[in-house]
Amino acid sequence: MSAKHTVKQLEDIASQVRRDIVRMVHAVQSGHPGGSLGCSDLLVALYHEVMDYQPKPFNMVGNNEDIFILSNGHISPVLYSSMARAGIFEVSELATFRKLNSRLQGHPATHEHLEGVRIASGSLGQGLSVATGIALSKRMNNDPKMVYCLMGDGELEEGQNWEAIMFAAHNKVDNLIGIVDFNGQQIDGSTANIMGLTEIKDKFEAFGWLTMDMDGNNMANVVDTLAKAKTISGKGKPVLIKMKTEMGAGVDFMMGSHEWHGIAPNNDQLANALAQLPETMGDY
């Protein structure tokens, strides 16, 4: 793969995306900063480096394009910022997040026709099935491109995921790369306490998937692992990447706890957060 950006350039984009996230959530005093910050490196890597797609004009079907499906829709701020910073829609529209008459709904939706969003998500556990369906349509069309699907770790408690995990392996859906954001946190506490997942790679492997580890907050490792995932795809098995992240990554006081899953920073906290995140592309 010929690199479009250096790792440093991608890290700079991720810094701007993190600024966008805390500013968007602060502006409406609602939203989910923790998981969004944790997944910033992944989404920047996908939308700015790894995925082969046409940012404009947006085409819903996406023939001959790599496609990303966000199953854990509550981390919509990172999706919106990553897409806007990639030129899919105007960066200025980030200012409308969660406001009346916005295309940037609290959870991603196709209903308002925001470019780049292909399915509504928010009610958890549905994205992997949708991604599998898109992967099947690509297979029927002899389209060689990939489908990526991000899920939360707590989200794996939803049973529908396991229907899709079983189906994709049985049907050799090998143009599908699932990524689980393994931050170990969910709303009521740690995943270990709420519903222990034990070793998720063992579970996926038992279902017939290939698995990989990734350090989701190390840009070089993210880019490298996604490239490797692609090279082991297409051989009869779907691929699962266990992505270790820190909820709140990039903002020290938001890290290491589930407390920042779904609350917004106040003015002082915003200033503190922004001081830790260099403005690299200009705030919206």
Q: At residue 179, what are phi and psi to the nearest 5 degrees?
A: -130, 125
Tell me the HSE value of 7 on the side-chain side, using a 13 A CA sphere: 8
Burial of 243 (0-12, 13-18, 19+ CB in 10 A): buried
60 touching other proteins, by CB under 8 A: yes
Smallest gap from residue 143 Cβ to other proteins (A): 8
* CA geometry: angle 194, 200, 202, nearest 5 deg: 140
Smallest gap from residue 144 Cβ to other proteins (A): 14
132 touching other proteins, by CB under 8 A: yes
Exactly one of 29, 54, 141, 231 binds other proteins (CB under 8 A); that residue is 141
Joined tokens for residue 50: 């790894």
Query: Please, which of residues 159-218 interact with other proteins by CB under 8 A?
Result: 159-160, 163-164, 166-167, 170-171
Nearer to other proteins, 54 or 141 (CB): 141
Smallest gap from residue 106 Cβ to other proteins (A): 13
Joined tokens for residue 65: 């394009």
137 touching other proteins, by CB under 8 A: yes
Q: Stretches 22-30, 44-52, 58-66, 214-222: which one binds other proteins (CB under 8 A)?
A: 58-66
237 touching other proteins, by CB under 8 A: no
Nearer to other proteins, 101 or 267 (CB): 101
Residue ranges binding other proteins (CB under 8 A): 60-63, 69, 109-111, 118-123, 125-138, 140-141, 159-160, 163-164, 166-167, 170-171
